[in-house]
Amino acid sequence: MEIALGFSSQNLFLSRNSSESYHKKINPISSFSFSNFALRKRFSLKRQPISRQHCSIKCQASTNGGIDQQNDDFILEDVPHLSNFIPDLPSYPNPLKKTPGYAIVKKTFVNPEDVVAQKIVVQKDSPRGIHFRRTGPREKVCFKSEEVRACIVTCGGLCPGINTVIREIVCGLSSMYGVDQILGIQGGYRGFYSKNTIQLTPKSVNDIHKRGGTILQTSRGGHDTNKIVDNIQDRGINQVYIIGGDGTQKGAAAIYKEVERRGLKVAVAGIPKTIDNDIAVIDKSFGFDTAVEEAQRAINAAHVEVESVENGVGIVKLMGRYSGFIAMHATLASRDVDCCLIPESPFYLEGHGGLFEFVEERLKENRHMVIVLAEGAGQEYLAESMHAVDEKDASGNKLLLDVGLWLTQKIKDHFTNVRKMDITMKYIDPTYMIRAIPSSASDNIYCTLLAQSAVHGAMAGFTGFTVGPVNSRQAYIPISRVTETQNTVKLTDRMWARLLASTNQPSFLNCEIVQKKINKQTSDDINDIKITSM
């Protein structure tokens, strides 16, 4: 089957030619015309002559559904739609146009064929690459307002902005779609089957965005797919909004699969939340900027303390289990940090090029120094030196040892006992403080976009999706796509190089483990189409 595509070089969106005949040929529900294709459908493209900024492209759905080896593939990684497994699903006109907010909006509904390109830095002849569906209101919805019974659940650790997302889902459902049956599931996944629900209304959530944490409470562990879906069925819930990190999104994928297996008309929408910014595909997770901003206060305090004494060494420990994004960004933002240690970049203490040597150099030069440490850094050394046994939290995440205390002690011992130097150590651990605060103004706006995109998607009948910004545009991403890998700092990317150039810290490159890690990252990068460089 042939599809005509047109795009502007200045536009991130690609639109398929919306000819009626095409729609009829592809899908009886015209506004969901992509949804007949299975996830990760690939189209081989034949390029036509490019005229100025626009070019029109013919593409052909791959008949075998497999990976097309042609260079100029257009790949749509689509999200499921309820019509995929519910026969004769009715659709209704979207009531949005009748709401005061949208009454005079020029283009209320997104073009159903708009997609967001995952890769926007391209060369003239490079392949078209992967695309995701653009979020936004569709002309047709699959739920009548009075029929919707939505629920919201929050799982995993805290993050600034969770309450804003809750608020905006409730207010979005109510003001845009006239939905008034919205339940809050309390205490994370286990709350589905072990706690009572609370009714959420625009009034009850009115000022929750000013508070940190989650008004619904959260938990780790307790994901029992069958019990959860039984409960969804028993309560007559037909839209499930799930706010949480990588673990939560895996849980959401399991719920979606079970819902599909049972053939239920239930839309499952994931909203990615993580302070660690470790969720793949999306640009950045909400609350991250707020946390980085708050981390500045701890770094400033450490700097003030150590520059006020002779040979002051300050250590600030920040969150980041497997990904050092908070530490990296907080360091880059501060300029008062001499060294940033993250889980992705192993370091060593003794000998030439090691951390002790660097600390001594900085003390000689400046009489003080500040180290920012991600909690997941150096765990291999700690485990070795403390003979620790592996402990896990209720979700199966490894419990970390306190690298901040360990490093403080190591530096103190080295300078006092080996180098016979007087130093003053200051250890600041603001880990929970940076995630327990309300979100900043810009994060609040980001949370609003996420929440409203999720609401539009669920109302339109999309399911099994996570919503998030891809190259600054909100997209519906298949849940499995965001859980297959974890986002980590790439030592081979320019952002880490910028950090090294800013701190002038050692790269610890003459260490064998570091070399091995970098070699591995380089080979992983070849398979990783996500552009992490900025």
Q: Quick one: 156 or 324, whose CB is closer to ligand ATP?
A: 156
The verdict on whether residue 246 carries a ligand-binding annotation is yes
What tokens were used for 329? Answer: 């960004």
The verdict on whether residue 457 carries a ligand-binding annotation is no
| Binding region for ligand ATP (CB under 6 A) | 155-157, 188-189, 220-223, 244-248, 250-251, 254, 274, 395, 397
Question: Do 315 and 408 meet the contact criterion of CB atoms below 8 Å apart?
Answer: yes
The verdict on whether residue 432 carries a ligand-binding annotation is yes
Active-site residue 230, yes or no? Answer: no
Q: How far apart are CA 350 and CA 127, in angstroms?
A: 47
In terms of Cβ atoms closer than 10 Å to its own Cβ (0-12, 13-18, 19+), residue 107 is: exposed
Tell whether residue 161 is a contact of ligand F6P (CB under 6 A): no
Q: Which one is catalytic: 73, 114, 276, 278?
A: 276
| HEC per residue, 447-497 | HHHHHHHHHHHHHCCECCEEEEEECCEEEEEEHHHHHCCECCCCCCCHHHH
Tell whether residue 343 is a contact of ligand F6P (CB under 6 A): no
The verdict on whether residue 236 carries a ligand-binding annotation is no
Tell whether residue 116 is a contact of ligand F6P (CB under 6 A): no
Binding to ligand F6P by CB under 6 A, coded x per residue (else -) over 411-440, reads ------------------------x-----
Give min distance, CB of 403 to ligand ATP, in A: 18
| Contacts for 198-203: CB closer than 8 Å, 24+ residues apart | 200/152, 200/166, 200/170, 201/170, 201/174, 202/170, 202/171, 202/174, 202/175
Give min distance, CB of 428 to Mg ion, in A: 24
Q: Quick one: 172 or 247, whose CB is closer to Mg ion?
A: 247
Residue type, 192: F
Angle between helices 403-413 and 379-386 (to 10 degrees): 70
Q: Which of 137, 157, 188, 343 binds ligand F6P (CB under 6 A)?
A: 157
Query: What SS3 class is residue 26?
Result: helix
Question: Do 424 and 310 meet the contact criterion of CB atoms below 8 Å apart?
Answer: yes
Q: Quick one: 245 or 314, whose CB is closer to ligand F6P?
A: 245
The verdict on whether residue 167 carries a ligand-binding annotation is no
The verdict on whether residue 247 carries a ligand-binding annotation is yes
The verdict on whether residue 434 carries a ligand-binding annotation is yes
Question: Do 219 and 191 meet the contact criterion of CB atoms below 8 Å apart?
Answer: yes
Find the binding residues for Mg ion in span 217-246 (CB under 5 A): 245-246
Q: Of ligand ATP, ligand F6P, Mg ion, none, which one sits near residue 320, judging by CB under 5 to 8 A according to partner kind? A: ligand F6P
Q: Which of 393, 413, 422, 484 binds ligand F6P (CB under 6 A)?
A: 393
Contacts of 376 (CB under 8 A, 6+ apart): 320, 321, 322, 323, 324, 342, 343, 400, 403
Q: Quick one: 284 or 456, whose CB is closer to ligand F6P?
A: 284
Q: Of Mg ion, ligand F6P, ligand ATP, none, which one sits near residue 404, judging by CB under 5 to 8 A according to partner kind? A: none
Question: Do 274 and 159 meet the contact criterion of CB atoms below 8 Å apart?
Answer: yes
Q: Quick one: 178 or 221, whose CB is closer to ligand ATP?
A: 221
The verdict on whether residue 433 carries a ligand-binding annotation is yes
Q: Of Mg ion, ligand F6P, ligand ATP, none, which one sits near residue 166, judging by CB under 5 to 8 A according to partner kind? A: none
What tokens were used for 24? Answer: 């009829």
The verdict on whether residue 3 carries a ligand-binding annotation is no
In terms of Cβ atoms closer than 10 Å to its own Cβ (0-12, 13-18, 19+), residue 495 is: middle
DSSP string, 64-101: T-S----TT-EEE-PPPBGGGTSTT---EE-GGGGSGG
Find the binding residues for Mg ion in span 122-141 (CB under 5 A): none
Q: Quick one: 114 or 246, whose CB is closer to ligand ATP?
A: 246
Helix, strand, coil shares of the chain as percentages rounded to 5? Answer: 35, 20, 45
Give min distance, CB of 291 to ligand F6P, in A: 9
Tell whether residue 321 is a contact of ligand F6P (CB under 6 A): yes
Give min distance, CB of 393 to ligand ATP, in A: 7
The residues with which 265 forms a beta bridge, in sequence order, are none
Tell whether residue 317 is a contact of ligand F6P (CB under 6 A): no
Q: How far apart are CA 174 and CA 459, in angstroms?
A: 12
Q: Of Mg ion, ligand F6P, ligand ATP, none, which one sits near residue 287, judging by CB under 5 to 8 A according to partner kind? A: none
Between the alpha carbon of residue 27 and those of residues 23, 143, 346, the distances in Å are 6, 19, 52
Q: Which of 76, 319, 451, 499 binds ligand F6P (CB under 6 A)?
A: 319
In terms of Cβ atoms closer than 10 Å to its own Cβ (0-12, 13-18, 19+), residue 390 is: exposed
Q: Of ligand F6P, Mg ion, ligand ATP, none, which one sits near residue 244, judging by CB under 5 to 8 A according to partner kind? A: ligand ATP
Tell whether residue 327 is a contact of ligand F6P (CB under 6 A): no
Residue stretches of the annotated binding site for substrate? 274-276, 319-321, 375, 432-435
Query: Which sequence positions are flagged as catalytic?
Result: 276
Which residue positions form the known binding site for Mg(2+)?
246
Q: Which residues are annotated as a binding site for ATP?
A: 157, 220-221, 245-248
Report the binding-site residues.
157, 220-221, 245-248, 274-276, 319-321, 375, 432-435
Point out which residues bind ligand F6P (CB under 6 A).
Answer: 157, 245, 274-276, 319-321, 375, 393, 400, 435
